[in-house]
Structure 1
Amino acid sequence: MDGPDFVALQVRDLEAAAAFCEQLLGMRRAAFSPPHAVVFDTRPTPFALREPIPGVDLADVARPGLGVVMWFRTSDAHKLHDQLVAAGVKILTPMADSPFGPMFSFEGPEGYTLTAHGG
């Protein structure tokens, strides 16, 4: 294998999660998304939010993705941090230096833990 080629998170409320990514994280929808998902124009790896796959019931899950670690590159982690704080997004780990530049973690759609780094 060469590595991840596409990443998708399953969510209960697709439109609310997509709005979070668009309005607070600045992601843009790709030109095409299937009816059960919202695909974003992220590079190098496409990222999507999708309705749960058949057989998955997120109603019984307090926090989807518990144990999953997802890092997203940004041009300015400090600026994104300040924007998320101003919007009332829960910061899970404070800004810190890392081998990949400044980084912090925050609570994303439906409780997923997301880490932003760079800048």
Structure 2
Amino acid sequence: MQTRLDFVSLQVRDLEVARQFYVQMLGFQEAGPRPGAAVFQDAAGAIFAVRVPFSDTDMSAPLGVGVSLWFTVTDPDDLHARLQAQGLQVTALQDGPFGRVFTLTDPDGYRISLHGKPGQA
């Protein structure tokens, strides 16, 4: 048996705030309307979503603790500058094994790392 990651979904406190963050700040495009969720799919078929909480979720607890998501971007330097200009708190850009990388925290406390490809200047 072989297992592979197929889909990532984060539960969020306010779906519209989360949708706007991922669309307006990070440039995601919605794959289409879904009840209770904002679903984003890239050209390679990877799916990422933010959704209303499951009924048994304790929404008073911190949501993003222990979770870090990594997304590839075409120009991490440009995105870093644009996010800083929007007033978002982002870490300093640095070179890493996945290329240029920086991290920010979304409205629900999830840590988002955005990186280029290795060797990309």
What TM-score comes out, normalization by structure 2 length? 0.87
**Structure 2 unaligned regions, length at least 5:** none
| Structure with more strand by fraction | 2
Instruction: Deviation per CA, 1:70-95: give whole Å up to 9, x if none.
Output: 1011001111111110111111x311
1:49 and 2:20 correspond: no
> Is structure 2 residue 24 aligned with structure 1 residue 23?
yes
Q: Whole-Å Cα distance in 1 between the matches of residues 113 and 18 of structure 2?
A: 16
**Counterpart of 1:114?**
112
Point out 4+ residue stretches in structure 1 off by more than 3 angstroms.
none
Stretches of structure 1 lacking an aligned partner (at least 5 in a row): none
Change (3 A) 1:44 1:98: farther
Q: For residues 29 and 99 of structure 1, what CA distance do their matches in structure 2 show?
A: 29
Q: Which amino acid aligns with 2:73?
A: T
| TM-superposed deviation, 1:44 | 4.0
Aligned length: 115
Q: Higher helix fraction: Structure 1 or Structure 2? A: 1
For the Cα contact (< 8 Å) 2:64–2:108, is it kept in 1?
no
Aligned to 1:70: 69
Q: How far apart, CA to CA, are the structure 2 residues paired with 1:44 and 1:95?
A: 28
